[in-house]
């Protein structure tokens, strides 16, 4: 059995860790409501511009990079992974990395050449430590992302998408993030943001296919597609819509990922606090048993010594 001094030391250190875990849980609890509201408030704008792009994509006579791939022979694709800047969030970052690696494997099996972009210090450290090539990185405030970082990311990715293949441009844009469902459930999602296509929606995780953003072809085959008149021209209108579309979608993903990160941290710290308390209880029982054993041993030695003295006197 471990010594009482060692048990007391472990109890003290575990108690200190438990206080840290509890503090982190309370901080995350105070932030989760705001993060959730911010994500929900940004959704109407993102949905509105996405609906507009969906309607534009229904025009089969439009030839624009937002709808059609510029160069089908270009095998480069951009993959953006949204991870966390700080730890103590359970499996939040590792789940994103695992989903990203799975997506990269699927793309490579299709003969494509993924180029990785990473947001979040934890993900950047993971790939840099392993010496993997990362095309672009962003760090800072993953739990409170602002419009500025969304604009910076969208400009970088859109610039890579609009480049010619000979200049290192990409033909597709994917984003891997964690969607906030509720305080208990957060799901890793993979979206193909560009180009937009009229596709039949595939449920996430059903057959391994990546869901694409576009109009659900199975919703209503007789649905009347609205007609638009473009002024001054189709290309100028879509050139103006494309940056706003990409930025709004990336910003929405950043916000819902931030809410998911905060919820994951709260759940992880709650579990860690419970585990610390359980460990303290177990160590306290062992300490009490050690004390009882020491007292019993001392009593036995005293009684044995008294018996020996009595025998000597006799």
Summarised one tens digit per residue, pLDDT across range 281-314 is 999 998 898 888 888 888 888 888 877 777 766 6
pLDDT of residue 190: 92
pLDDT of residue 100: 94
pLDDT of residue 39: 83
Query: Across residues 198-220, what is the average pLDDT?
Result: 44
The answer to whether 101 and 116 have CB atoms below 8 angstroms apart is no
- What's the mean per-residue pLDDT of the chain? 82
CA 299 from chain centre, in angstroms, equals 59
- Which residue has 């060692």 as its token pair? 6
pLDDT of residue 83: 94
Q: What percent of the chain clears pLDDT 70, i.e. is strictly above it?
A: 83
**Mean pLDDT: which of 203-207, 218-222, 273-277 is highest?**
273-277
pLDDT of residue 207: 43
Q: What percent of the chain clears pLDDT 90, i.e. is strictly above it?
A: 31
- Which residue has 């200190």 as its token pair? 16
Summarised one tens digit per residue, pLDDT across range 9-68 is 999 999 999 999 899 888 888 888 888 888 888 888 888 877 777 777 666 566 777 776
pTM greater than 0.85: no
In the chain, what are the domains?
Answer: 4-24+268-313 (1.10.287), 34-264 (3.40.1380.10)
């Amino acid at each position: 059995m471990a010594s009482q001094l060692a048990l007391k030391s472990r109890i003290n250190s575990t108690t200190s860790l438990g206080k840290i875990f509890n503090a982190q849980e309370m901080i995350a609890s105070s932030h989760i409501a705001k993060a959730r509201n911010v994500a929900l408030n940004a959704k109407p704008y993102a949905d509105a511009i996405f609906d507009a792009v969906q309607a534009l994509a229904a025009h089969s006579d439009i030839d624009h990079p937002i709808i059609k791939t510029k160069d089908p022979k270009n095998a480069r694709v951009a993959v953006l992974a949204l991870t966390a800047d700080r730890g103590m969030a359970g499996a939040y970052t590792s789940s994103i990395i695992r989903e990203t690696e799975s997506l990269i494997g699927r793309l490579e099996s299709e003969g494509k050449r993924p180029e990785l972009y990473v947001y979040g210090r934890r993900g950047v450290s993971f790939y840099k430590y392993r010496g993997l090539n990362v095309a672009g990185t962003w760090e800072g405030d993953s739990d409170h992302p602002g419009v500025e970082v969304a604009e910076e990311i969208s400009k970088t990715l859109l610039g890579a998408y609009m480049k010619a293949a000979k200049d290192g441009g990409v033909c597709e844009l994917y984003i891997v993030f964690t969607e906030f469902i509720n305080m208990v459930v957060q799901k890793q999602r993979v979206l193909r943001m560009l180009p937009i296509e009229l596709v039949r929606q595939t449920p996430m995780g059903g057959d391994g296919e990546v869901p694409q953003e576009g109009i659900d072809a199975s919703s209503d085959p007789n649905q009347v597609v609205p007609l638009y008149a473009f002024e001054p021209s189709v290309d100028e209108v879509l050139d103006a819509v494309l940056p706003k579309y990409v930025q709004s979608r990336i910003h929405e993903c950043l916000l819902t990922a931030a809410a998911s990160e905060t919820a994951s941290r709260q759940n992880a710290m709650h579990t860690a606090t419970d585990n610390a308390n359980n460990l303290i209880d177990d160590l306290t029982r062992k300490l009490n048993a050690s004390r009882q054993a020491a007292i019993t041993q001392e009593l036995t030695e005293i009684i044995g010594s008294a018996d020996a003295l009595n025998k000597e006197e006799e």
